[in-house]
Structure 1
Amino acid sequence: MDDALSAEAAMVQERPGRLREFWFYFRENRGAVIGLWIFAVFAFLALFGPWVAPHDATEQFRAATLQPPAWQEGGTWTHILGTDPLGRDMLSRLIVGARYSFFVGVVVVSIAATGGIIIGLIAGFAPKWVDSIIMRVMDIVLAFPSLLLALVLVAILGPSLTNAMIAIAIVLQPHYVRLTRASVLSERQKDYVTSARVAGAGIFRLMFVTVLPNCLAPIIVQAALSFSTAILDAAALGFLGMGAQPPTPEWGTMLAEAREFILRAWWVVTFPGVAILVTVLAINLMGDGLRDALDPKLKRS
């Protein structure tokens, strides 16, 4: 009884210890901490954007079309970042647009990671001929330029934000397959897997309970980097008219609607571009910090 209580207490102490160790290595990367704070603001706007935005994202102020960022007469702020060609408030559209970009990142990473992990586990445990077939299919997908392949898939499925997310997830999936398979092949040779197999563990228990938890560190880093890639690809598809459709305040679609006004109204292009740049850069910096904190080879004594 005492031994069981001692073991349980040790596990409770070990978990906070691991979190402290993770945070210790993560915060050594100042850029990663800055990226984490920016990502937290981005997530907050994604969750509460419609309530934080000063105006409705689709409301049109016909008397204030292409108004530059400035004070209104009378000394009160009305359109802090100006308005677009239809008189819609730029700040409100950027804030609400964060929700769409965050939604794209979450859905794309969830679909790509789930499918990629399952296929990678199958490839890692399957006979060699099955593994070869799976990896050749992944190689074919990776042989195409990612944005071009996404464009083709959206053209087949039809232009919409949902179809854009499906296309981007398919394009990103091979990265998870290759990463998971490589981690599985490395872990399969270790003693704890052999012990579990000798103890009678079934194939599914070996895959999802024994091996998978020890492969998660590089997958988590890849998920963070894929999150930014998904946002960037969704913005690119929206800019090309194959992603979210107007009047959806998605950042890429906002750029597409404003491209003919680049010389007349710099703010309608600059602010959505800066939003994409800052968000993607912050997530990439956070991904670097996750890599430093989760990869034992990069930890300094």
Structure 2
Amino acid sequence: MDHASTDEIKSQAPARPGRLSEFWYYFRENRGAVIGLWIFAAFVIVAAGANLLAPYDPTEQFREFTLVPPFWADGGNFAFPLGTDPLGRDMLSRLLHGARYSFFVGIVVVSVAAFGGILIGLLAGFAPKWVDTIIMRIMDIILAFPSLLLALVLVAILGPSLTNAMIAIAIVLQPHYVRLTRASVMSERGKDYVTSARVVGAGLPRLMFITVLPNCLAPIIVQAALSFSTAILDAAALGFLGMGAQPPTPEWGTMLADAREFILRAWWVVTFPGLAILVTVLAINLMGDGLRDALDPKLKRS
């Protein structure tokens, strides 16, 4: 009878939603985040399928069609839907391939910065106080410099190129992961489950990477989403200043730099790359806000 009653109570109790279902429930409450997710998904598809979607090679020049306006403007040509640049290259093809470069920059920069930052943050959280102090003061010194200025200095030392720009941006973003990881570790290391792991003989590497790190990932994931947009924006800024991707690479910032002298008589060569950067960065930031709302238990309504 007791077993039957227990089974009946269990069958009547509401099923607890899975973690993925719970995450999506809170994420979709932020409509801006959902819109940002769809735009980001489109950005990923465009970046992956740029070769199939682009009507021309991004570096192919049609010298007889220089500065052709978009097809809907006076003098437009349907062969070039978004017009051409000063060298007669198709703007649509260059924008589509630019998405690939921007996505590549975001992935590489976030991966490098997060890997190094998490590792250093874990070491700082478990290290003796004097080691922790040295690490955090170094991070404070890096953060004291304006991020773009520091990236410019590093690229000037390493040499202008897209690879060096990614390295510089990753170094600039790394202290944010260090501070965030260390703060999460400091709040977790005194909890009962960590003490229990110590009691049963868990070594320091296991405590760091198996016991504590998984419980620190929520804020790190949010930081990664926001860093993705920062990486795209900084790479475009360095490209615009001539310190990032070099011509004829179809990177959005480099496209802006090549077209700045034509801004008054060929608005499309500046407008479209600028809009691509704006929409992509805005979408990723909106998605990051949704991730924060869904992963931070303090923001969840009971």
TM-score range, shorter chain: over 0.9
2:138 is equivalent to residue 161 of structure 1: no
2:256 is equivalent to residue 270 of structure 1: no
Aligned to 1:9: none
Gap runs ≥5 in structure 1: 1-13
> Where in structure 2 are the equivalents of 1:1-301 lying within 5 Å?
17-70=18-71, 77-301=78-302
User: Structure 1 CA distance, aligned partners of 2:82 and 2:46?
Assistant: 16
Count of residue pairs brought into register by the alignment: 287
Alignment RMSD, CA only? 1.5
Gap runs ≥5 in structure 2: 1-14
Matched-pair contact (CA < 8 Å) for 1:66–1:83: yes
Could you say what secondary structure the match of 2:87 adopts?
coil
Distance 1:21 1:136, change over 3 A: same
After superposition, the C-alpha distances for 1:142-173 in whole angstroms (9 at most, x for unaligned) are 00000000000000000000000000000000
- What amino acid does structure 2 have at the position aligned with 1:256? A
- What amino acid does structure 2 have at the position aligned with 1:157? L
After superposition, the C-alpha distances for 1:86-128 in whole angstroms (9 at most, x for unaligned) are 0000011000000000000000000000000000000000000
Matched-pair contact (CA < 8 Å) for 2:77–2:83: no
Give % identity.
85
TM-score of the two chains, using structure 1 as the length reference = 0.93
After superposition, the C-alpha distances for 1:177-231 in whole angstroms (9 at most, x for unaligned) are 0000000000001000000000100000000000000000000000000000000
Could you say what secondary structure the match of 2:108 adopts?
helix
Could you say what secondary structure the match of 1:245 adopts?
coil
After superposition, the C-alpha distances for 1:54-87 in whole angstroms (9 at most, x for unaligned) are 11101111111000001699x9821111100000
User: Structure 1 CA distance, aligned partners of 2:51 and 2:268?
Assistant: 22
TM-score of the two chains, using structure 2 as the length reference = 0.93
Distance 1:143 1:112, change over 3 A: same
Matched-pair contact (CA < 8 Å) for 2:68–2:77: no
User: Structure 1 CA distance, aligned partners of 2:163 and 2:77?
Assistant: 39
After superposition, the C-alpha distances for 1:242-283 in whole angstroms (9 at most, x for unaligned) are 000000000000000000000010000000000000000000
User: Structure 1 CA distance, aligned partners of 2:201 and 2:102?
Assistant: 46
